Amino acid sequence: MIARFLDTFFRHVLLLLLPPMLIPLIVGPIALYMTPVYYETWAGIWVERPTYLAYNDDWNRYNTPAQNQTGRLNELLRTRSFMLEVAKKTSLEPLTASAKGEEAIADIFGKGLLIMPNGNQLVLVRFRAGTPQISYQVVNALIETFRDKASDRSSQALLAISFYESRQQTADEEFTKARDALRRYVAANPRLTSIDPSAGAAATAASRLGLPTAAIDPQLAELLRQVQVAEAGLDRARTALDQAQLDASASMEGQQLGFQLVDQPRMPTTATRERRRMLIYPIAALLVGIGISSTLLVLLIMSDGTARSEQELLGTARVLGSVPEIRVRDVPKKAGPDVTRRAVGYPAGMALAAPGGTK
């Protein structure tokens, strides 16, 4: 089988080598011509969580700052509103007016934008586009829009502060109201000034017995309870307001420290071809050519009916005789007819001299 394979291959070597050589030569220039040219813009963002500034955030403690910031940016890019906000700050703004334009923007961002961590605290933003202007504009717009989102979080902190301020004002009013009610009740009942057991003869019998205020005057006890509750609520509101103001200030400072643009994006000046696509198509063409040659070789072997040994003729034809393989050693350079006759006669003589040979 191997002999048949090699014989067929070398018999049609030009035909079998033509597809692996011709197809890559045709596909290579076409792939080079059809490979798109793009412009690439980079930007580096330094992300660091302040060590001595405590504030509430939504970061995963088991990830690095760069991984957390990368995850936040990628999650925002999955939202339609954020993606359109970025596109409106670039030359892609006309596409935001239609649904097909939004699909085109999503396709451009999906193929050209890459956000990845490079170490523990460095985030790299890369965008590829067909023009240098769009490449540069998208990176700038992305960073600017993300900073605006950070400003939105600051606005939320201000709203929280406003809420706690309103709570403090309400608690202050309730405390003032309860305290004024207590003062008016005490002023309307002068006898209540003698409930102190240390007042001596002026103290009432109940106070001298050490009974609580509720036993002496239930209404006074209720007013005192309301004053205590209102004062405790006012203290809690003040504490919550102070904590909210501290958290808001720390959060704004932490965001400024945690998102620093260390490598400014630059307008690309040279175009780049996508090397992967340039190599994939010629390699695929080579594999297709090899497949065609292999298929052609199998078809040639199957269609070849040449017999190369006596065993292949058994059962199909009667063998009358066979010419043995002639191997002549030390043949002179100028071989005459005698040399050829001897070369043919030697095997014949050996066959006659063998036992059972015909004479």
List, for residues 224-246, the tens digit of each pLDDT value: 788 888 888 888 888 888 877 77
Q: Which residues contact 122 (CB under 8 A, 6 or more apart)?
A: 44, 45, 46, 47, 66, 262
d(CA 39, CA 37): 7
Residue of 329 and 35 predicted with greater confidence:
35
- pLDDT at residue 137, as a whole number: 92
Tokens read off for 327: 């191997």
Most confident of 6-15, 99-108, 140-149: 99-108
pLDDT (mean) for 124-147: 90
d(CA 202, CA 316): 145
For the chain, give the percent of residues with pLDDT over 70. Answer: 67
Residue of 35 and 285 predicted with greater confidence:
285
Which helix (H) or strand (E) segment holds residue 39: the answer is: strand 37-46
Q: Can you tell me whether residue 288 is helix, strand or coil?
A: helix
When computed from its CA atoms, the radius of gyration of the chain, rounded to whole angstroms, is: 48
Summary mean pLDDT of the chain = 76
- pLDDT at residue 231, as a whole number: 87
Q: Can you tell me whether residue 61 is helix, strand or coil?
A: coil
Q: Which residues contact 161 (CB under 8 A, 6 or more apart)?
A: 241, 244, 245, 248
Which helix (H) or strand (E) segment holds residue 127: the answer is: strand 122-129
Lowest average pLDDT, out of 19-23, 185-189, 283-287, goes to: 185-189
**Any idea how long the chain is?**
359
Residue 312 has phi, psi (to 5 degrees) of -75, -20
Q: Can you tell me whether residue 178 is helix, strand or coil?
A: helix
Give 335's pLDDT tier (boundaries 50, 70, 90). Answer: low
How many CB atoms neighbour CB 23 within 10 A? 20
Lowest average pLDDT, out of 32-41, 78-87, 308-317, goes to: 308-317
d(CA 286, CA 291): 9
d(CA 158, CA 146): 19
- pLDDT at residue 125, as a whole number: 92
Residue of 219 and 79 predicted with greater confidence:
79
- pLDDT at residue 200, as a whole number: 44
Lowest average pLDDT, out of 178-182, 247-251, 261-265, goes to: 247-251
Residue of 357 and 50 predicted with greater confidence:
50
d(CA 307, CA 69): 74
Residue of 292 and 30 predicted with greater confidence:
292
Give 338's pLDDT tier (boundaries 50, 70, 90). Answer: low
pLDDT (mean) for 71-77: 87
- pLDDT at residue 312, as a whole number: 66
pLDDT of 91 over the 70 cut: yes
- Per-residue three-class SS string for 84-117: HHHHHCCCCHHHHHCHHHHHHHHHHHHHHEEEEE
**Helices within 44-79 (DSSP H only):** 65-77
DSSP string, 155-172: HHHHHHHHHHHHHHHHHH
Give 127's pLDDT tier (boundaries 50, 70, 90). Answer: very high
Residue of 194 and 73 predicted with greater confidence:
73
| pLDDT tens, residue by residue, 29-45 | 877 777 777 888 989 88
- pLDDT at residue 209, as a whole number: 38
- pLDDT at residue 124, as a whole number: 92
Tokens read off for 161: 């502060």
- pLDDT at residue 340, as a whole number: 58
Under 8 Å between Cβ of 226 and 178: yes
pTM of the model: 0.53
- pLDDT at residue 164, as a whole number: 83
pLDDT of 208 over the 50 cut: no
d(CA 65, CA 58): 11
- pLDDT at residue 359, as a whole number: 45
pLDDT (mean) for 113-129: 89
Residue of 342 and 31 predicted with greater confidence:
31
pLDDT of 189 over the 80 cut: no
